[in-house]
């Protein structure tokens, strides 16, 4: 007997949820909205109709958002706020300002205001909320947010909405839900505006036993897969959630009560397999650290990926301990040279490491160096953050530099070191809480602007300013064998460079959508701002050759590209393309009347 659904039930449309990937960052390898994609999956499994929009992939973000608001007509808008700022304290030792940090929230607030003008309910989430929930909520003037891993919580919210409970009453009773209740004011420009304001815990802690990820692979946004394929970006795949370390500058360990929840190996392999079929060759295993609480899960996964013969390059965050030959052998089995890995040292002074300036102690770092030397890996890569701990002194800085030079001398190819000076003050991190509770003591070492909830870029650095300390580190490491540079020093910074990167991304997206005129226009716009940008030249050449059939024009562009690239593998690739184009040219000439 067939089951008939009553007409009054069948006629009720599912709640429409629009998720806005609120990430204004423009980079050469854009970061995919993995968290937003996972939340969208949770809402869909709950029975909601969901769309995800990435406004900052478009030249005019507000127009992109408005268009979807008009057509989709959402019942609830979620903003997945990835970062408060770019966390790049200073890019180089040279500069006229204390900080080089780019503050993202003003751009995000402009889009939030467009949604608020339509009287639509808003829910905040994303990594930025975990660092400073109250500050972000106050600045954006939004009363409801979710803090930390929340797949299960969002599913429960979605089910309540489907069953007819209105928002915000549909929000589950859960410590990860943050709400501003009282009335207060927050300075904005030259005046103040009323906002919801109320006490929020320093950390919204989830329960490690209650949290559950949504089952199955995460559906991906096609535009982001196109960008990853074209620009060599890594596509994230969940590996685990949580961390058991207590780094002074970090908030992640508190999310699940300093416990780690690994994802089953077979689920990860299945998702990587699907991505490989979609043309993805580089994967980022998303986790606080791959080897916490130990390396067994990472080792098992790498061997499983090797057995699957997927031909993908995988990596992720790694800490210096625990590390053993089995883990490094597993990386080799999957085709990753351990010399290309990067380890999060945190610091190199043992006293500060034991005080929380990094995830492991100095003895663990020494063992890692010895392991690399014994195994014959030429270079050991890692990162350090100096000046970001209240106990930092001239002596601890000198100690870290001396250790770096010692490691560099011990390794055949030297120590590969990315270094940074000063720590961003996040209220939810131990450093942020110390600054809040010892403001008079911290004051002389704070750089940037003090604001409600430390939401505007504010950096703690001692001894000296971030730029002075960076210069000190840089000068002290002169003569080392290994590649050493400030962290993310290569990131685009000038308006012209940032515009070029955005135009390149647009060229990729238009080409993927088969909009050839728009793709060519975007690539040429990028080259007007950065005439020798390798990726802009490559995208223009591909559009001319593959989309327009303009062999002569493509040959001119790729010959220009040949004069720009220097990495041997890239040189060989460009020369191969030029040979193909020359052969096509010759074939066309031979067939001409």
How far apart, in whole angstroms, are the C-alpha atoms of residue 244 and residue 240?
12
User: Is residue 122 a contact partner of residue 116, using CB atoms and an 8 Å limit?
Assistant: yes
Tens-digit pLDDT string for the chain (593 aa): 455 545 444 457 999 999 999 999 877 677 899 999 999 999 999 999 999 999 999 989 999 999 999 999 999 999 999 999 988 899 888 888 899 999 999 999 999 999 999 999 999 999 999 888 889 999 999 999 998 888 999 999 999 999 999 999 999 998 889 998 653 433 333 233 333 333 333 333 444 455 677 888 999 999 999 999 998 889 999 999 888 888 888 877 766 667 888 899 999 999 999 999 999 999 999 988 999 999 999 999 999 999 999 989 999 999 999 999 999 999 999 999 999 999 999 999 999 999 999 999 999 999 999 999 999 999 999 999 999 999 999 999 999 999 999 999 999 999 999 999 999 999 888 999 999 999 999 999 999 999 988 999 999 999 999 999 999 999 999 999 999 999 877 777 788 888 999 999 999 999 999 999 999 999 999 999 999 999 999 999 999 999 999 999 999 999 999 999 888 888 999 999 999 999 888 887 776 55
Domains of the chain: 13-197 (3.40.50.280), 203-336 (3.30.750.210), 495-591 (1.25.40.10)
Residue 371: CB partners within 8 Å, gap ≥ 6? 323, 324, 325, 328
The H or E element containing residue 325 is: helix 325-333
How far apart, in whole angstroms, are the C-alpha atoms of residue 195 and residue 137?
9
How far apart, in whole angstroms, are the C-alpha atoms of residue 580 and residue 569?
17
Rounded to 10 deg, the angle between the 105-117 and 61-72 helix axes is 30
Query: What is the DSSP pairing of strand 76-81 with strand 342-346?
Result: unpaired
How far apart, in whole angstroms, are the C-alpha atoms of residue 535 and residue 386?
34
How far apart, in whole angstroms, are the C-alpha atoms of residue 231 and residue 241?
27
């Amino acid at each position: 007997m067939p089951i008939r659904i009553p007409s009054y039930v069948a006629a009720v449309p599912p709640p429409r949820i629009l998720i806005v990937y609120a990430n204004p960052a423009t980079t050469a390898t854009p970061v995919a909205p993995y968290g937003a994609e996972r939340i969208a999956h949770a809402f869909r499994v709950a029975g909601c109709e969901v769309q995800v929009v990435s406004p900052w992939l478009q030249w005019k973000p507000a127009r992109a958002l408005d268009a979807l608001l008009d057509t989709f007509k959402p019942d609830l808008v979620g903003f997945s706020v990835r970062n408060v700022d770019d966390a790049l304290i200073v890019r180089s030792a040279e500069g006229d300002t204390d900080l080089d940090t780019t503050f993202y929230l003003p751009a995000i607030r402009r889009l939030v205001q467009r949604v608020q003008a339509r009287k639509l309910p808003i829910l905040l989430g994303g990594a930025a909320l975990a660092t400073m929930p109250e500050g972000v909520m106050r600045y954006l003037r939004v009363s409801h947010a979710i803090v930390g891993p929340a797949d299960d919580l969002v599913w429960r919210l979605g089910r309540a909405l489907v069953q007819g409970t209105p928002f915000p009453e549909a929000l589950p009773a859960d410590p990860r839900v943050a709400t501003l209740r009282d009335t207060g004011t927050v300075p904005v420009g030259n005046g103040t505006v009323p906002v919801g304001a109320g006490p929020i815990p320093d950390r919204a802690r989830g329960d490690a036993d209650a949290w559950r990820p949504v089952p199955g692979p995460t559906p991906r946004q096609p535009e982001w897969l196109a960008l990853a394929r074209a620009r060599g970006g890594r596509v994230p795949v969940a590996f685990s959630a949580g961390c058991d370390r207590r780094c002074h500058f970090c908030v992640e360990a508190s999310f699940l009560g300093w416990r780690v929840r690994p994802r089953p190996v077979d689920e990860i392999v299945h998702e990587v397999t699907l991505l490989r079929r979609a043309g993805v060759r580089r994967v980022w295993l998303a986790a606080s650290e791959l080897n916490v609480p130990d390396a067994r899960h990472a080792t098992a996964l790498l061997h499983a990926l090797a057995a699957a013969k997927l031909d993908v390059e995988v990596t992720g965050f790694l800490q210096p301990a625990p590390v053993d030959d089995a883990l490094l052998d597993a990386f080799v089995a999957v085709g990753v040279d351990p010399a290309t890995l990067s380890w999060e040292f945190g610091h190199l002074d043992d006293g500060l490491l034991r005080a929380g300036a990094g995830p492991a102690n100095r003895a663990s770092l020494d063992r890692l160096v010895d392991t690399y030397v014994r195994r014959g890996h030429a270079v050991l890569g890692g990162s350090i953050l100096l000046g970001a701990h209240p106990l930092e002194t001239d002596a601890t800085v000198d100690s870290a530099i001396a250790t770096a030079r010692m490691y560099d001398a011990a390794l055949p190819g030297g120590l590969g070191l990315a270094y940074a000076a000063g720590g961003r003050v996040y209220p939810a991190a131990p450093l942020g809480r110390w600054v809040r509770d010892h403001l008079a003591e911290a004051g002389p070492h704070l750089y940037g602007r003090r604001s409600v909830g430390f939401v505007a870029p504010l950096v703690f650095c001692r001894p000296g300013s971030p730029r002075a300390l960076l210069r000190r580190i840089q000068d002290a490491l002169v003569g080392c064998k290994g590649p050493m540079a400030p962290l993310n020093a290569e990131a685009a910074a000038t308006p012209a460079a940032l515009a070029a990167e955005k135009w390149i991304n647009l060229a990729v997206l238009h080409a993927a959508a088969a909009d050839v005129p728009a793709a060519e226009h975007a690539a040429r716009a990028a080259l007007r701002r950065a005439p020798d940008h390798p990726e802009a030249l490559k995208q223009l050449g591909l559009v001319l050759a593959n989309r327009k059939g303009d062999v002569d024009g493509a040959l001119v562009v790729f010959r220009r590209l040949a004069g720009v690239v220097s990495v041997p593998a890239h040189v060989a690739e460009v020369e191969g393309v030029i040979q193909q184009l020359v052969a096509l040219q010759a074939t066309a000439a031979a067939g001409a009347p």
